[in-house]
Each structure stands twice: as C-alpha cells, then as structure tokens.
A and B are shown apart, each in its own frame.
Chain A
Amino acid sequence: MRDAYVVGAGMIDFGELYDQSFDDLLEAAYLNLLEDVDKGVEPSDIDAGWYGTIDFANEGSSGASVAHATGLFEKPITRVENACATGSDAFRNASLAVRAGEVDLALVIGAEKMLDDTAGLIQGAAVERLWRGRGVTMPAFFGMRATRHMEVYGTTKAQIAEVSVKNHENGTKYPHAHQQFECTVEDVQDSPTVSYPLNLYDCCPVTDGACAVLLAGEDVAHEYTDEPVRHAGWGLSSDTFQRGDDLALSNFPASRHASSRAYERSGYGPDDVDVAEVHDCFSITELITYEDLGFCGDGEGGEFIESGAPRLDGHTPVNPSGGLLSKGHPIGATGVAQIAEIYEQLRDEAGDVQVDDPEVGLQHNIGIGRNATGAVSCVNVFDRG
C-alpha cells in the first residue's frame, strides 16, 4: 500500500463570519487551497472529496453541498460526521482511499456555520431523554473531568487556566485565530463561571470557519509540491464513562486508544512528537490530553503545563496556532484546520508560531456525541516523508 501525502492547505480566517454563508465558507477554503498548492492544481485533477461537518446550522448539508460550492460535480463526495473528530475523520477516510490506490488526489474540506443559530449550543442540553445527557452541556461534560482530575491528582484551577493563557498568547501570533487577545491566570479565574470548575476563558469561543487540504498518493504528490507532508499514522476510537473505568472520569481512554494506534502505525512515540495540535475545546481538555497522548505521565498534566513544555519554545509545543481556545471551534473545520497547521509547521511556514525545525507532528480531536455519554477520538501523525 502506498503512502498518502498532504500537498496543500487552504485556511480561512476563523471568526464571527456573519457576512458569509455556509456555501461561502466552503468556497473560500477551497479557493485558498487551490492557490496554496506550490505547483498548482487543476480542479479536474481532483478525483474525490470528503466533507466534514456536523451541519450545526441544520442546512441538510451533504456531499452535494461541496459540489455546489466548488463546482466539483460528477465526482464522489462523501460527508463525514463524527462529533468533534468530524474533520480529522473525514481526512482519515480520504487518506485510506488514497492509500488504497482508488483515488490519486483527494479534497478534504471541513466547515461549520456555528453562528447562524447559537441557541442550539445550550438548547441541546434540554434533551428529552432521561439519563442521556439532559442538563449536560459541553462545558459540563468536560468540566466533570476537571473536578475529578483536581480531586484525584491535586491539579489546580490555576494550572488548568495556564493552558488558556498559553493558547491565547499563541493565538495573537496566528493570523487566522478568532480571538486575538492575551490573558492572565487571574483573567481566566475572574471570568464568569460557565460550569464550575470552568470559567468563560476556559472555554473555546463560538466560531464560524472552514478549511481544506489536498491529499495525494506518494507517486503523484511531487506533481504538486516538492515538500509534501506524509500521513504517517492514524487512530480512531470510541469510549464511554458508563463502561465503569475510573480513568474515563478524569481522562479520555478513547484518546489513549487512538494515539496508541497512531503511534504504532507511524512507528513514532510521544517523545518523537515535535509539534502537536490537540483538542482544547476547554483548557482542561488539553491538560488531560497531555497525559492521554503520553507527553507526560498520568496526573502530571498540571506540572507539564507549569514546566513550560507545551509552550512554543518548550520541549513539546502544543497548539502553536492558539488551539480551539483562541482559534475557535467550527466543528467540521476544526480537525482539518489542525492538519493544515501541522502541514505548515512541518514545512517551516508557520510564521510567528513556527516551532524549531519539527520533523514529526500530531493532530488530535476528542469529542462527544449528542447523547453526551460517549467520547470519540481521532489522532493523525505526520512527518516530512
């Protein structure tokens, strides 16, 4: 089986894009992608597309929506939905097809229009099914891990806040990030309580966005760029706290399963990762992800952030783009945008957030479904090929 390579990425500025429709977002990411490919690409070269969206805007968005937005008709375009791992799983599916040799050049595009109807974010907690997440919002689901982590490991609210401080600082240096401001631990702790123990600045903003990347088989990748980035490994896994494992109360076993498989497939381990874009929908999510990805030991996430290791100049820079906390979390676009950022990093094109000469990059999502009891994680590992 051949390898699959990323040969281009098209990012748009994330934000409150009230003047752009769902179609506009897709179109903008697609056009940016075409422009980004080093040696150029003809739309007719694209064999197939994978489209990641949870269709938060409820527009009945399907593969055909991408065809309408891009003009790529008569081609197989598949919509993928997998909670917060939607974009990264769309990418994974595209990569599998490329690796299998069925597709030479694949478009992966993720988009989410979050701000046309923000009521849904809160209203989802009014689910009329007992025991399946009534009254459980996203901040509650992740906040429960924070409470447990603080109880079991003595992690402090200040350590959790440090994640937000780091990512907001990075975000001010990353042009596509939605939130462009720095904050202190005190700012985080003084911001309004959203869901104890999480405050407002522990939570990612509500953001519109889209991103596209192009995947090519190893035998054709060099037709598009001399610096392709190899998709070296992947893992996808699901779990639920209901299974009874106490670890699922403070961490995400799904992230551990997914990253183990990705490490195994790529031949790399956590110590080999030079740069990571991980799922920081909330500050606590990134802190426990350090542990779940093996960047530090169990219960050491608080010390890890305090040590400065995940900072831009640290041992394992995490979320140089500012992460979801400052970049925003347009769900279908999120994973694709993380991959686009890893692509830039491994090509030394990340500007003010470029880390020092990275060889191996990792992308990670952890999400929950509508029933709010389970978790799904997708991890992709990249190298310079």
Chain B
Amino acid sequence: MSGPRYHRPKRQDQRLVAFECQSCGWVSYPERKRTCKGCSAAPAEYEEVQLQERGEIKTFVVQHYLPDDIETPQPVAIVDVPQVGDGEPARIYGLLAESELDELEVGREVEARFRELFDDGDRPINSFKFAVPRGEK
C-alpha cells in the first residue's frame, strides 16, 4: 500500500470534486481525465465541478457474500450524484450504509455520508458512502 494512491484523488474522495467535459457535459468522477467517456474527445477540456452530498439510486443489489471486512447484507447501488448548479450528474457506484432492502428502490434519494472505506495499513481511508436519509429512520 502506498500513500500516493490515496493522496492523488483526495479532493475527489473527501470533497466530492468532479470534472465536467466542456464539449459534451459528461462528468468524470473521481478520475481527473484528459479524454472523455462521453464524446471520446482527446484531449478533452475539463472544468472542475462540485458534486452535491446526495444522490439518486438508479439500480441496486443487496449482497450476502462478501469478504469478511465488508459487513453483510451490504447494499450497493449505481447512484447519480448531481452537481451543485446545472449540468449532468456523475454516475458512480455507491456503497450504502445503514440501509435495508425494504428501504431501497430505484429512484430513491440517498444522502452522502462520510465513512471509513478500508485502511491503508493503520490509517483509515475515509470517503463517501450513501444512506437513506437519517431523518427518515
């Protein structure tokens, strides 16, 4: 395990900074890219955008068999995370925390929650998971 791997994307991982292609509007997260998955521009021009601390579930599963260090049942979703302001959302995987199968559905709004994802030796690597809003629990 090495420090640079987690240092490089730290702004994305901890501050939800993303990158918007200036020719097609596609949003890259967390990769800071110079080519575009949306329009294949190369080089593409990107500008930083800020993602909101919430998202919408596009689809999901609830997993029952995972490595021991990931608690089960563990829901995982594909989540659209909107930008602050106008523009396309980033479409990413999101691990769901504190969320049960019967609380989940396609289209459901989830909150981004700062959580420990794993560790780098002794040091926790913290970033975002998603959860059904605490106020609804």
Contacts and interface: CB of A to CB of B under 8 A. Distances in A.
A371 to B, nearest CB: 10
Nearest to A145: B59
Contacts of A243: 26, 37-38
Contact of B60 (A147, A193, A250): A147
B-side interface size class: 35 or more
Contacts of A197: 61
Contacts of A244: 26, 38, 88, 91
Complex A-B, nearest 3 residue pairs according to Cβ-Cβ distance, in ascending order:
A148-B59, A143-B61, A126-B67
Given A151-B106, A243-B26, A244-B88, A195 B64 contact: yes
Contacts of A195: 61-65
Interface string B97-127: 0000100011000000000011010000101
Nearest to A148: B59
Interface string B36-79: 01100000000000000000001111111111011001101110
Contact of B61 (A130, A131, A139): A139
A148 B118 CA distance: 28
A373 B74 CA distance: 18
B50 to A, nearest CB: 17
B93 A249 contact: no
A267 B63 CA distance: 42
B39 to A, nearest CB: 10
B106 A194 contact: no
Contacts of B26: 243-244
Contacts of B63: 125, 135, 137, 139-140, 194-196
Contact of A135 (B64, B70, B88, B125): B70
A131 B88 contact: no
Given A126-B67, A143-B61, A243-B26, 12 more contacts: A130-B117, A132-B93, A135-B63, A135-B70, A137-B66, A148-B106, A151-B105, A151-B106, A193-B62, A198-B61, A243-B38, A373-B93
Task: Name, among B37, B67, B106, B118, the residue most crowded by chain A CB atoms within 10 Å (CB to CB).
Answer: B67
Given A130-B125, A243-B38, A135 B65 contact: no
A122 B67 contact: yes
Given A130-B117, A131-B29, A147-B106, A125 B67 contact: yes
B92 A242 contact: yes
18 contacts: A126-B69, A130-B13, A132-B93, A135-B74, A139-B63, A144-B61, A144-B78, A145-B59, A148-B58, A151-B59, A195-B62, A195-B65, A196-B101, A242-B37, A244-B26, A249-B58, A249-B78, A250-B59
Contacts of A249: 58-59, 78
B7 to A, nearest CB: 13
Task: Name, among A244, A246, A250, the residue most crowded by chain B CB atoms within 10 Å (CB to CB).
Answer: A244
Interface of B: 1, 5, 9, 13, 26, 29-30, 37-38, 58-67, 69-70, 73-74, 76-78, 88, 91-93, 95, 101, 105-106, 117-118, 120, 125, 127
A132 B9 CA distance: 13
B60 A137 contact: no
A272 B65 CA distance: 41
A128 interface: yes
A93 B127 CA distance: 42
Contacts of A148: 58-59, 106
Contacts of B92: 131, 242
Given A240-B37, A243-B37, A249-B58, A126 B70 contact: yes
A152 B58 CA distance: 10
A58 interface: no
Nearest to B28: A242
B9 A192 contact: no
A17 interface: no
Contacts of A198: 61
Contacts of A373: 93
